[in-house]
């Protein structure tokens, strides 16, 4: 087991990882930008190093500075969290060259799985139903030819990265040229890779994902499904587990398929397989995230398994000490992402309490939300024995959560969880566009 880990991230996920390390008796090293000098993750860590200016390119994406900080601190491993360098094979390889363990999949797996078009072929060969699509297309003209064969509407998607960036819905050939320019430009800005591919647009559909843990000994366990259909512009707003759209038989079957597929591709670490669920109940594989998901905590609340701790154990060579039969998907958990609507400085924070209520955040009084990073302030999660009780609990928690000085989406989240379409469980990816 590691004795010291550097956390190459910021905000709530850096705090989350540091707390997990503390509970495991592992010393922590924080890195921070000039804008985050007074951040909570810096205060909680045993050591901390400023690695550059406020822009992410100057700090949290600065590979050499992060490696230098790890070497200087004597860290044995680096946890990248999510975003930033979490899916960067070059950084993972750089860690290895400097004798530092990257807490995540090996660089080769990351490279193979980072190209979503290539990944789909791997998963098709592994037995999953895959959305019809292409490999990377090199021009708008090539994209039009591919879309004509697949049939409109289609999605234009970045081959690298995630988080809803570099994605455009194409209704006809007339829309392609402008959308291609926008998607490639956005992909270059977000991921440093402008390659895109085409896939069939499945409509209406729900976004359902499966959380996987896989160790170096070949053991693979799925920690159930998450419904992530509440999205705006491909950005998730609310997640719940289990999905109200999936019955026990369907869940058992897709879990079995996903576990076997992950075994066949030889993946190691925490990962998430993302699917579209059509109105006939068919699962269509979209992509795999080779990192910790933002919404991992809603799965933790349902299953009781600490995914961050298991990431660390797996990276240190420790095998999973539980099997698929040990994973009990009983009850319901709901997560609301609390985002800043604009910049500001926190003047007051009141966090809701009570049994099975959790708020993952880095907020402390005086925290300033800057324009340099993601707008996520925290994640409010509840668990209950039934979905009905979980709905009541998340409403109560949202009403109790107070954040002053920073405009937030708390009221909007409360309106969503009170919407009849959400309370009934009969919603899909069109929910926000139809409000």
Taking a C-beta distance cutoff of 8 angstroms, is the pair 241, 227 a contact?
Answer: yes
Catalytic choice (168, 291, 337, 358): 291
Backbone angles phi, psi at 200, to 5 degrees: -65, 135
DSSP-assigned states of every residue in 313-368: HHHTTPPPS--GGG----SEEEEEEEEBSS-EE--EEE---STTEEEEE---TT-E
CA 303 to chain centre: 18
Taking a C-beta distance cutoff of 8 angstroms, is the pair 110, 133 a contact?
Answer: no
291 included as an active-site residue: yes
What token pair was written down for 32? 């921070």
- Burial of residue 356 (CB within 10 Å: 0-12, 13-18, 19+) is middle
The side-by-side arrangement of strands in the sheet containing 196-200 is 167-170, 154-158, 196-200
- Burial of residue 397 (CB within 10 Å: 0-12, 13-18, 19+) is buried
Taking a C-beta distance cutoff of 8 angstroms, is the pair 365, 426 a contact?
Answer: no
* CB atoms closer than 10 angstroms to residue 165: 18
State the angle between helix axes of 307-315 and 296-303 in degrees (0 to 180), rounded to the nearest 10: 100
Strands 205-214 and 269-278: antiparallel
| Residues belonging to the chain | 435
The CA–CA distances, whole Å, from 240 to 152, 191, 308, 337 equal 31, 28, 19, 11
Taking a C-beta distance cutoff of 8 angstroms, is the pair 273, 285 a contact?
Answer: yes
Find all residues with CB under 8 Å of 157, minimum gap 6, and list them.
Answer: 116, 166, 167, 183, 196, 197, 198, 199
Taking a C-beta distance cutoff of 8 angstroms, is the pair 111, 89 a contact?
Answer: yes
| HSE-CB for 113 with a 13 A CA cutoff | 27
Catalytic residues: 291
């Amino acid at each position: 087991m590691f004795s010291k880990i550097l956390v190459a991230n910021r905000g709530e996920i850096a705090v989350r990882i540091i707390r997990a390390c503390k509970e495991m008796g592992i010393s922590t090293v924080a890195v921070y930008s000039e804008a985050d000098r007074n951040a909570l993750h810096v205060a909680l860590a045993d050591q901390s190093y400023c690695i550059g200016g406020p822009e992410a390119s100057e700090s949290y994406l600065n590979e050499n500075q992060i490696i230098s900080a790890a070497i200087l601190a004597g860290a044995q491993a680096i946890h990248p969290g999510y975003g930033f360098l979490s899916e960067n094979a070059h950084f993972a390889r750089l860690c290895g060259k400097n004798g530092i363990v990257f807490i995540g999949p090996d660089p080769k797996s990351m490279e193979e799985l980072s190209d979503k078009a290539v990944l789909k072929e791997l998963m098709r060969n592994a037995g999953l139903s895959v959305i019809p699509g292409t490999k990377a297309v090199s021009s708008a003209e090539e994209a039009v030819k591919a879309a004509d064969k697949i049939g409109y509407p289609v999605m234009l998607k970045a081959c690298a990265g995630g988080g809803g960036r570099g994605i455009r819905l194409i209704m006809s050939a007339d829309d392609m040229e402008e959308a291609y320019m926008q998607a490639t430009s956005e992909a270059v800005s977000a991921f440093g890779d402008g390659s895109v591919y085409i896939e069939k647009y499945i409509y209406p559909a729900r976004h359902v994902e499966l959380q996987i843990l896989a160790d170096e000994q070949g053991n693979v366990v799925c920690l159930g499904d998450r419904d992530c259909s509440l999205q705006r512009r491909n950005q998730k707003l609310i997640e719940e587990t289990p999905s109200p759209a999936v019955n026990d038989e369907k869940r058992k079957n897709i879990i079995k398929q996903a576990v076997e597929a992950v075994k066949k591709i030889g993946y190691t670490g925490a990962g998430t397989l993302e699917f579209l669920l059509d109105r006939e109940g068919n699962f269509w594989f979209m992509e795999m995230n080779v990192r910790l998901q933002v919404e991992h905590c809603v799965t933790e609340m349902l299953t009781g398994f600490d995914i961050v701790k298991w990431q660390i154990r797996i990276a240190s060579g420790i095998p999973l000490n539980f099997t698929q039969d040990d994973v009990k998907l009983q009850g319901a958990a709901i997560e609301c992402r609390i985002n800043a609507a604009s910049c500001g400085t926190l003047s007051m924070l009141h966090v809701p309490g009570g049994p099975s209520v959790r708020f993952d955040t880095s907020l402390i009084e005086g925290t300033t939300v800057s324009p340099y990073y993601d707008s996520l302030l925290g994640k409010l999660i509840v668990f209950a024995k039934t979905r009905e009780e979980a709905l009541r609990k998340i409403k109560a928690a949202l009403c109790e959560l107070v954040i002053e000085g920073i405009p937030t989406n708390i009221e909007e989240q409360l309106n969503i969880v009170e919407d009849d379409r959400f309370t009934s469980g009969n919603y899909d990816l069109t929910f926000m566009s139809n409000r």
